Amino acid sequence: MPYCTNCGTEEAANQRFCPVCGAPSGGTFGVSPMPPLSSGGARVEAQVLVGISLEPPRQSRWSVFLRLLLCLPLFFVAVGVGFVAFFVTVAAWFCSLFSGRVSDGLQDFLTSALRLYANILAYEYLLVPRWPGVTFHQKPNDQVTVAVDHVRLRRWSVFFRFILSYPANLVNAVLSLGTYPLLALMWVWGLLAGREPRPLHQALALVLRYQMRLQAYLCLLTPTQPFRGLFGEGVDVPLITSSALPQGGISSSLPTGAGNAGAEVPVLPTRWLVERSSKVALVIAIVLGVLIYAGTTQVERPFIQRVETRVAHSLLNSSHSDAVAAVASFEAAVRACPTSEFQGCVERAATRAHDRLGGIASSAFIYALVPPSARGDERRYAAAQSALSEEVDDLQTLPAAQAQAEISDQLPPTLAQLNDAYNVLKRDLDTYL
């Protein structure tokens, strides 16, 4: 079976250029279509090659109109594959943490999942005209191509991968929000004209490439952060042909035989040369994303606060019920203590009550969830709970007569203080629900 001698991608028999890296076809190598482990150990960066046409294609208006509906079955497939890919990524994390690289099998699956995700997302973004179907392997007629170098990884960066990816995830959140207005405009434009405007098409393609590079970074397929090339690599050219294939380009999905010699065959570039207006559109998307992100945070905060308050309310009720039950159980155990061994019985009952009070949900969790205006009352409740626990703890060391007096005279007022603090805090939380 023919494979590219440069990147290892499977090739068609009549194919003159690799559909991934653009290298001229030159026969087969080995038995694996995966790129070999890069020589020289860990490289400074690895390439994540995403190929897609930078010319907006013509699309049928009915498919544009029903695009979300047509994407639904693909979304279900993507969710299922993503569920499996999560566990494969965990396995890849352990594998690369100990060996400094992802095994061939894991890399193959994760790259295939990334390719599937790229094709689905490109169809959702109105970047490609044909329904992509479910494909895990590179095909000559793919509308989107994805290839990832197989390189060694630094173990410390693998260990801290999810922490290191936080800035990239934040940029992705902004980009994702900023694409919504652009997608709405592209949808309307596609319905009217049957083809998307070129600047918006290229801007959304840049967003797609960034998201694919981010996913490759999160899946441990590359040690390289996805920021480089966010705005492309230069000014776009009208048409790239097989006779003038740039370095890093991807060949056409159309077969090239003797009968097609000299014909212009569009290619899917992996070194993206976009025009200035596309970069401006991407900047506008970023600005819109920042504004939406800030506005959404402010709008959603009351809802989030209600959820947090409800959780705090539940924890408070549980904490107070456990405290009251612990004290009631302690008092019942003391009343049942025989006079002959009253001291030891009180000590055992106090120990059990103290352990139960110590096992109650920590007040720190409640404090972190209550609204800021209720935190003062939460501190008073926490102080009353602590005083009750100390009161029971002191009963373990007192003489029998003094312990009996403390149980009658001191414990009820301490419990009453806890009840009062609970009622005040509960009223505060009720106002937010």
The per-residue pLDDT for 114 is: 92
Q: Is 251 helix (H, G, I), strand (E, B) or coil?
A: coil
Determine what percent of the chain is predicted with pLDDT higher than 90.
13
pLDDT at 7 over 60: no
> Which stretch, 9-13, 39-43, 239-243, has highest mean pLDDT?
9-13
Q: Give 86-124 pLDDT, tens digit per residue.
A: 999 999 999 888 888 888 889 889 999 999 999 999 999
Contact by Cβ (8 Å): 392, 353: yes
Check residue 242 and give its pLDDT. Answer: 32
Higher-confidence residue of 431 and 235: namely 431
Looking at per-residue pLDDT, the higher value among 387 and 363 belongs to 387
**Residue 77 tokens, joined:** 């497939």
**Spatial CB neighbours of 278, under 8 Å, sequence gap ≥ 6:** 198, 199, 200, 201, 202, 203, 206, 232, 236
Residue type, 417: Q
d(CA 339, CA 30): 88
Mean pLDDT lowest for which of 110-124, 259-273, 274-288, 409-423?
259-273
Report the C-alpha gap between 414 and 383 in whole angstroms: 11
Q: Looking at residue 299, what is its pLDDT?
A: 53
Quick one: average pLDDT of 297-318?
73
**0.85 surpassed by pTM:** no
The more confidently predicted of residues 101 and 343 is: 101
| Average pLDDT for 1-12 | 52
Q: Tokens 């060391």 map to which residue?
A: 397
Torsion over CA of 362, 367, 370 and 376, rounded to 10 degrees?
Answer: 130
Q: For the chain, what percent of residues have pLDDT higher than 70? A: 75
Among 4-13, 242-251, 298-307, 415-424, the range with the most confident prediction by mean pLDDT is 415-424
Write down the residue that tokens 């120990």 correspond to: 351
Split at pLDDT 50, 70, 90, the class of 2 is low
Q: For residue 189, is pLDDT > 80?
A: yes
* Dist. CA 162–CA 96, nearest whole Å: 14
Band the pLDDT of 364: cuts 50, 70, 90.
Answer: low
Say which CATH architecture domain 301-430 belongs to.
Answer: Up-down Bundle (1.20)
**Domain boundaries of the chain, sorted by first residue:** 48-274, 301-430
63-72, 196-205, 287-296: least confidently modelled range: 287-296
294-302: long-range contacts, CB 8 A cutoff, minimum separation 24 = 296/177
Q: Which residues contact 262 (CB under 8 A, 6 or more apart)?
A: 243
Question: How far apart, in whole angstroms, are the C-alpha atoms of residue 312 and residue 306?
Answer: 10
Contacts (Cβ under 8 Å, ≥6 apart) of 182? 200, 203, 204, 281, 284, 285
Helix (H, G, I), strand (E, B) or coil at 80: helix
pLDDT at 30: 33
Q: Give the model's confidence band at 393: pLDDT under 50 very low, under 70 low, under 90 confident, else very high.
A: confident
Residue 148 in contact with residue 222, Cβ under 8 Å?
Answer: yes
pLDDT for residue 104? 84
- What's the mean pLDDT in 226-230? 86
Longest dimension (CA), the chain: 110
As a whole number, the mean pLDDT across the chain is 76
